[in-house]
Amino acid sequence: MKRRAFMLSVGGAAAGMVLLPRMAFAETGKIDWYTSSDQNILDFWTNVVKPKFEAANPGVTLNLVDAGDAAGQTAIGERALAAMQTKTDPQADYFESADWRLPAGAADAGLYVNIKEAGLSNYSKINPLAFDGDYSVPYRGSQVLLAYDTTKLDPANAPKSFADLVTWIKANPGQFIYNRPDKGGSGGNFVRRAILEANGKDLGKFKIDNYTQEAGDAALNPAWDILKDLSGSLFDNGAYTSGNTQSIQLLGQSAVTMIPAWSDQAIQAINTGVLPETTGLVQLQDLALPGGFSRSVVLSNGVNKDAALKLADFILTEEVQSAVLSELGGFPGVAWDYVSQDLREKYKDVIPTTIPAFPGGDWEKAINDGWYRNVAPNVDRNA
């Protein structure tokens, strides 16, 4: 009986410790930084940006916080908006990657600093294609491409167009997997590329405010047919991983031959040995898989607003932008002229010729729900 009594008391004590309240207050000189991105981005900031920035700015430190995901970070934004109304400390200064339209009304209320008017010395270097309004600093880009195992697929035969890809998937059943579109951008943008394929590769058809039920059905249903048609040839007769990382894990375990992957995640996985060196990367040439830029915002009511603006300027320096390329495998937020020639040469795989960007909003909702209802269940798993 003693063993059991011991186990119960240990269990109780452990539960008690979890329930202890935790308090935090913002400090001057410590920038409260939040990210909704994956672990590789947090690692990049921890190992590269933080030491460089703190060395360049004595007395200022960075408190890097993982907000979990976009919704988690939006919740921090909502807290900051509420703090703004009560004129209290939001305990947040900087969001690594955010949409300034969220939370709704935040920009109108003045929650985010207008970067264009903030006088950043490096602002003029930003790639004109990367801007999305005046409230955010585009500093890194990433695009979905195809990662594949060169020991099983000769790079010369790697698919170069969506039609080639479909042919390859069908000719090699069980060797391709993508993740559920709402659980990570690699699968999400693969699905969006299929939607573009079903709509004559016409990006202009999709705008943030032109979703209607009829337009949605007309545009999406043919895409579901393409994807349903593929499902039987996917890994395990139509399995879908629940995230970018799990897809990379399956490629790493050599369970599949090809996956869609974020360029930065794939290159970092190769650099750290998660994916073997024999991993090949290829982008579709007829129309690339979609991608986009990550844009930072600075909170206007943060205690360390000035230091946070310095940080926003700092990440646009050549030092950090080159690291975005070499350490992160992303593409820079500044125009390519501001990156050294040898880096441009070395990373030509990820230099995009086109970066199709797909709108969010109601389209995103329709895509997520439609995929689950139309593509995922219509799979005969025992076939």
Partner 1 sequence: MSLSATSDIVGTKTRRGLTGLLLVAIPVFLVVWMIIWPIISAIGRTIWLPNDGGTGRSFSLETYKFFFTDQYSLNNLSVTLWTTGICALLLVLICLPIALYLRFAKGRLAAYVQGLAIFPMFVPSIILSYAIIRVLGPNGTVDLLLNSVGLPHIRSPYLTPWGPVIGLVWDNIPLTVLILLSGLGNVSNQSIEAARDVGAGRLAVLWHIILPRISNSILVAVSFTVLGIFSAFTLPYVLGPAAPEMMGPFMQRTFRDLNDPTNAITQAVIAFCFCIVFGLFYVRSVAKNRNP
Interacting residue ranges for partner 1, rule: CB under 8 A: 1, 3-4, 7-8, 11, 14, 71, 180, 182, 235-236, 239-243, 246, 249-250, 253-255, 365, 368-369, 372-373, 376-377, 379, 381
Among 215, 257, 214, 216, CA closest to 234: 257
Q: How far is the CB of 235 from partner 1 (least distance, A)?
A: 8
Per-residue tokens: 7: 């186990």
Both tokens assigned to 123:
């602002």
Closest distance to partner 1 from the beta carbon of 382 (Å): 10
Which residues are paired to 95 by β-bridges? 34, 297
Tokens read off for 38:
């994956």
- CB of 26 or CB of 239, closer to partner 1: 239
CB of 13 to partner 1, least distance (A): 13
Residue 313 in tokens: 């300027």
The residue behind tokens 């186990």 is 7
Q: Rounded to the nearest whole angstrom, what is the least distance from the CB of residue 351 to partner 1 in the complex?
A: 32
We find the least distance from the C-beta atom of residue 238 to partner 1, in angstroms, to be 9
CB neighbourhood size of 171 (10 A): 9
Nearer to partner 1, 70 or 215 (CB): 70
Q: In angstroms, rounded to a whole number, what is the distance separating the alpha carbons of residues 81 and 96?
A: 17
The least CB distance from residue 368 to partner 1, in Å, is: 5
- CB of residue 84 vs partner 1: minimum separation in angstroms? 24
> Which C-beta is closer to partner 1: that of 8 or that of 163?
8
The encoded tokens of residue 368 equal 């997520």
| CA distances (Å), origin 295, targets 115, 224, 359 | 11, 31, 15
Cis peptide before 103 (omega within 30 of 0): yes
Backbone φ, ψ for residue 166 (5° rounding): -60, -45
User: Reduced to 3 states, what is the DSSP secondary structure of residue 77?
Assistant: helix
Q: Are strands 291-298 and 30-35 parallel, antiparallel or unpaired?
A: unpaired
Q: Which is nearer to partner 1, 261 or 334 (CB)?
A: 261
Classify residue 87 by burial, with Cβ atoms within 10 Å: 0-12, 13-18, 19+. Answer: exposed
Nearest distance from C-beta of residue 296 to partner 1, angstroms: 23
CB nearer partner 1, residue 50 or residue 180: 180
Hey, CA dihedral for 268, 272, 277, 278, is it positive or negative? negative
- Smallest distance, Å, CB 220 to partner 1? 15
Q: Which is nearer to partner 1, 56 or 104 (CB)?
A: 104
What SS3 class is residue 319? helix
Nearer Cβ to partner 1 (3/87): 3
Instruction: Tell me how far, at minimum, the Cβ of 217 lies from partner 1, in Å.
Output: 17
Q: Which is nearer to partner 1, 45 or 178 (CB)?
A: 178
Report how far residue 72's alpha carbon sits from residue 81's, in angstroms, rounded to the nearest whole number.
14
Which of 88, 92, 100, 46 is closest to 67 using CA atoms? 92
Any idea how long the chain is? 383
Residues 31, 62: contact at Cβ < 8 Å?
Answer: yes
| Of the candidates 178, 208, 174, the residue with the CA atom closest to the CA atom of residue 194 | 178
Nearer to partner 1, 287 or 376 (CB): 376
Q: Looking at beta carbons only, is 42 or 379 nearer to partner 1?
A: 379
Paired tokens of 252: 């790493």
